[in-house]
Amino acid sequence: MYNDTIKIISLIITLLFSVPATSQEPWDYTYPKREERAVWLATIGGIDWPRTKATNAYTTEAQKQELRTILDRLQRANINTVILQTRIRGSVIYPSDIETWDEAITGRAGRAPGYDPLQFAIDECHARGMELHAWLVSIPLGTYSRQYSYGTKSVMRHHPSLCKTVRGEVFMIPGQPATADYIASIAKEIVERYDVDGISLDYIRYPESTYYFSDDNLYSSSTGMTISEWRRSNITRIVKRVHEVVKAIKPWVKLSSSPIGKYSNLSRYRSGGWDCFNAVYQDPKAWLRDNIQDLLFPMMYFTADNFYPFLYDWAENCYGHPIAAGLGIYLLDPHEGRWQLNDVRAEMYETRRSGIGGIAFYRSDYLTRNLKGIYDSVSKEFFPYPALTSRMTWMPDTIAPPAPQNMKYENGIISWQYDHPTTHGQWPFISFNIYGSNHYPVDTDKAENLLAHHIDATNFTIAGRATTKHYFAITAIDRFGNESHALQEPPATTIHHSHEEIMAAISRHYNNTQPAATASTPSSTNPTSSTSPTRNTSSSSNTGKSAKPAKRKKKEPELIITDFSKYFD
C-alpha cells in the first residue's frame, strides 16, 4: 500500500518548498471552509500561560491580560480551536471538588486565585469565535513528592489502589477498572459546570518502557486476551467510559485524544519502535471506528519518511472523522531541534492536500512569538481566512437548524431575528456565521466569504474586512456543526417598466403641464416687457466714449431633465 510513490512525493515536496517563505504559492489554492485549526496551550509550569502568578488584584489582572493577548494573536491567525491544559498532573486550573489547584496559577499548589481561570478562558475563546477543549493529562501524576504535597486532595492519598509509583514517578493504573471511573469523573465535573466545546485526553496510554511500569499482576489469561490485547482494552475502557459520561450530559461536546503520531508499522515503513498500537497500547483507529472519539490530534512530530507515509495511513483510516495532524513546531527552536520553516510549510501543505481534516500546533508559544516566521506563514499563507470546524456527521443530530429571519441594516450594524430553542437550558446551542461578498447572492461555500463565525448575538458591526463587502448573508449553526440555509441580504432592486408604461407616463406629463398658446403670452418682440432681461450698460456710460457693441455669445441650449416617475401607476 505504501510504495515508493510516497517517497517520491516527499522528495518533490521537500524540493518544492526549498524556497523562501515569502515566495509565491506554488499552485493556485482553494482554502477549505471547514478545517480543524488547533493549538495546544500548555499551563504546566506556565510555559505557554500564565507567566504571571495571580497573587493579588494587580497580578490577577495581568494574568488575564496575558491570555487575552495570546488569544487575540491566535484569532488573527484564524485558529479556531484552543486545547487548554486543564488537568496537569493530578491537579487542575479550576475550583474542583476532586483535585487540587495546580501551582501554575498562583505559584503554590492548592492556593486558589481570585477568579476561575477555566471559565475566563472559555468566555474569552467564545468571544473570539474559537472553541475551547479541556486538555486532561490522564495517566501520569508527576513525582511522588509532588503528589504527597497535595494533601487530602491527592489521588495517591484518597485513591491509593489506583496509583503506582515507579522510580519516583506516580502513575494511574490502567489495569484497575476504577481508574476509568476516576478519570471520567473529572471529565464529568468539567462538562457539567462549564460550557467547554471538547474534552481532549492526553497521555491516554501506558508509560513508555523507560519507566519500567507494569500492571501485569492484574492480568489473567482467563480473559482470553494476550497481555498486549489486555493492555489495549484497559486504555480503551477509559476512553469509552469518558464517552459514556460526557455524551450523556452534552452530546455535542467533542471527545478527542493526542495519540502517538504513528499508529503502527506500515508495509514499507517502520515506526522505529515508537507507535500507538505496540509501544503504548493505544488503539485510536478503533476509537474512531466505534465512535467513542470524535476526532484525533496525533502527535506527528517527525519529518520526511517518518511523517508522510503515516499521514496517509491516518487519512485512509479515519472512519469519517476529522484528524488534525499535530505538528511539532517546537522543533523550530534551536534548543529543541533543527527544523526549518520550510519543513513545517511542506507538512502543512501535504496535510491539507491529504484531506485528513486539519492541523494542530505544539505549542502556542512557538506559534505566537513567530519562531523562524511560523506565525507569518500560518496567518498569511495558510490561514488567511477563517474556517469552521468539522460537522459531526457521525452523531445522531444531523438536522440543520432554521435560518435566521428579517435582516436589517442601520448605522453600520446588521441585525436579524431568531427563535432560539429552549431545550438546552443555560448552554447556548445556536450561534451565527456572517458571510460577505461583492457578488449577489453571497456564496456561503467559499472560505474567503466567511467574515465571522459562532457569534452569540443577533447583530454584527461591520468593521475590518467586512467594510469592503457590498452584500451579506447570515446562517445559524448548532453545536454539532449543522449549518442552516443562508439568509441573504435583499439586493437593491431596479424596476423596469414596459414601453407602453413609459409612453403613458410621458403622455400624462405633457397633458397636465403644457400651457395653452394664448394672447396673454408675453411678446418676445417687446423690449420693454417686464419679462425681458435687464442688461448692464454702466461701462459705456461711465467712460463717456462710444463703446463697441459687445460680441454676443452663442446661447447654450438649456438641458431640461424631467422626472416621469410620479406619472407611473
Query: Are residues 244 and 125 both part of a single domain?
Result: yes
Strand order in the sheet with 413-417: 405-410, 413-417, 459-461
Query: Are residues 438 and 361 both part of a single domain?
Result: no
pLDDT in tens, 202-229: 999 999 999 999 999 999 999 999 999 9
Q: E strands along 424-537, which residues?
A: 430-437, 450-455, 459-461, 471-478, 487-488
pLDDT of residue 515: 47
Query: Are residues 249 and 356 both part of a single domain?
Result: yes
Grid coordinates belonging to 116: 476561575
Query: Are residues 333 and 482 both part of a single domain?
Result: no
pLDDT in tens, 500-528: 777 777 777 777 754 444 444 444 444 33
pLDDT of residue 511: 75
Mean pLDDT on 107-128? 97
Interatomic CA distance for residues 171 and 160, integer angstroms:
11
Domain assignment present for residue 528? The answer is: no
Query: Are residues 330 and 452 both part of a single domain?
Result: no
pLDDT in tens, 453-482: 999 999 999 999 999 999 999 999 999 999
Nearest CA among 182, 172, 187, 264 for reference residue 218: 172
Give me the phi and psi of 258, to 5 degrees please. Answer: -120, 80
Q: Which residues contact 457 (CB under 8 A, 6 or more apart)?
A: 432
Query: Are residues 139 and 180 both part of a single domain?
Result: yes
Confidence of residue 532 (pLDDT cuts 50, 70, 90): very low
pLDDT in tens, 405-428: 999 999 999 999 998 876 566 788
Answer whether residue 146 shows pLDDT above 70: yes
Domain assignment present for residue 307? The answer is: yes
pLDDT of residue 558: 62
pLDDT of residue 519: 42
Residue 37 β-bridge partners: 359
Interatomic CA distance for residues 16 and 542, integer angstroms:
89
Query: In Å, what is the CA distance from 138 to each residue of 190, 323, 448, 469?
Result: 14, 20, 39, 47
Mean pLDDT on 253-277? 97
Grid coordinates belonging to 415: 441585525
Total domain count, the chain? 2
**H helices within 252-376, ranges in order?**
276-279, 284-289, 308-315, 341-354, 364-368, 374-376
Query: Are residues 14 and 46 both part of a single domain?
Result: yes
Share of the chain above pLDDT 90, in %: 79
User: 521 and 514 in contact (C-beta within 8 Å)?
Assistant: no
Q: What is the DSSP letter of 209?
A: G
Residue finishing a domain among 351, 382, 413: 382
pLDDT of residue 497: 63
Query: Are residues 199 and 130 both part of a single domain?
Result: yes
Share of the chain above pLDDT 70, in %: 83
Residue 473 β-bridge partners: 435, 488
Interatomic CA distance for residues 549 and 568, integer angstroms:
51
pLDDT in tens, 298-322: 999 999 999 999 999 999 999 999 9
Grid coordinates belonging to 6: 510516497
Domain assignment present for residue 541? The answer is: no
Interatomic CA distance for residues 388 and 365, integer angstroms:
23
Residue 183 lies in domain: 4-382
Query: Are residues 450 and 337 both part of a single domain?
Result: no
User: 253 and 197 in contact (C-beta within 8 Å)?
Assistant: yes
Mean pLDDT on 337-357? 97
Residue finishing a domain among 471, 488, 505: 488
Confidence of residue 534 (pLDDT cuts 50, 70, 90): very low
pLDDT in tens, 6-59: 544 444 444 444 444 433 444 456 899 999 999 999 999 999 999 999 999 999
User: 453 and 460 in contact (C-beta within 8 Å)?
Assistant: no
Confidence of residue 533 (pLDDT cuts 50, 70, 90): very low
Query: Are residues 317 and 434 both part of a single domain?
Result: no
Query: Are residues 190 and 280 both part of a single domain?
Result: yes
Answer whether residue 342 shows pLDDT above 80: yes
Domain assignment present for residue 356? The answer is: yes
Query: Are residues 372 and 420 both part of a single domain?
Result: no
Give me the phi and psi of 415, to 5 degrees please. Answer: -130, 160
98 vs 554: which has the higher pLDDT: 98
CATH classification of the domain holding 423 = 2.60.40
pLDDT of residue 567: 58
3-state SS assignment for residue 307 = coil
